[in-house]
């Protein structure tokens, strides 16, 4: 135990029970030295608000990426379904839609990432 802490506790133990505070670590104890580092609540609040804004931005980005993921899944599904169609023009149309969505999704991924 640090000497200053020992002095604080000794003062508290030697004080009359009717007159001593509930804890040795109170302002009534002249031997107690407050911790050297006092937290500046305004500074901590500003840091917390900055972290909250950053977290909200990351959540927004995550939601955008999830939407992009769903669009990509649909594009791959439609691309895979082209083989099931008998009509050459329908296959070409579905494959071109799928390819267009893939290109748009790739651009969106570059923008969002």
* Residues 39-96: tens digit of each pLDDT: 678 888 999 999 999 999 999 999 999 999 999 999 999 889 888 989 999 999 999 9
pTM of the model: 0.52
How many Å apart are CA 5 and CA 79, to the nearest integer? 73
Residues 47, 33, single domain; the answer is no
Quote the pLDDT of residue 38.
59
How many Å apart are CA 78 and CA 93, to the nearest integer? 10
Structurally, how many domains does the chain consist of? 2
Residues 74, 112, single domain; the answer is yes
Structural domain harbouring 99? 40-113
Residues 8, 51, single domain; the answer is no
How many Å apart are CA 19 and CA 111, to the nearest integer? 69
Quote the pLDDT of residue 59.
95
Residues 45, 32, single domain; the answer is no
**CA distances, 101 to each of 11, 19, 62, 90, 105 (Å):** 77, 79, 20, 16, 6
């Amino acid at each position: 135990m640090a000497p200053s802490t020992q002095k604080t506790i000794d003062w508290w133990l030697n004080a009359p029970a009717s007159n001593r505070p509930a804890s040795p670590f109170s302002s009534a104890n002249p031997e107690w030295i407050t911790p050297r580092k006092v937290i500046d609540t305004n500074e901590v609040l500003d840091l917390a608000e900055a972290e909250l804004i950053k977290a909200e931005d990351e959540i927004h980005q995550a939601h955008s990426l999830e939407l992009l993921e769903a669009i990509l899944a649909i594009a791959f599904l439609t691309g895979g379904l082209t083989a099931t169609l008998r009509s050459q023009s329908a296959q070409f149309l579905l494959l071109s839609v799928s390819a267009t969505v893939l290109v748009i999704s790739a651009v969106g991924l570059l923008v969002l990432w």
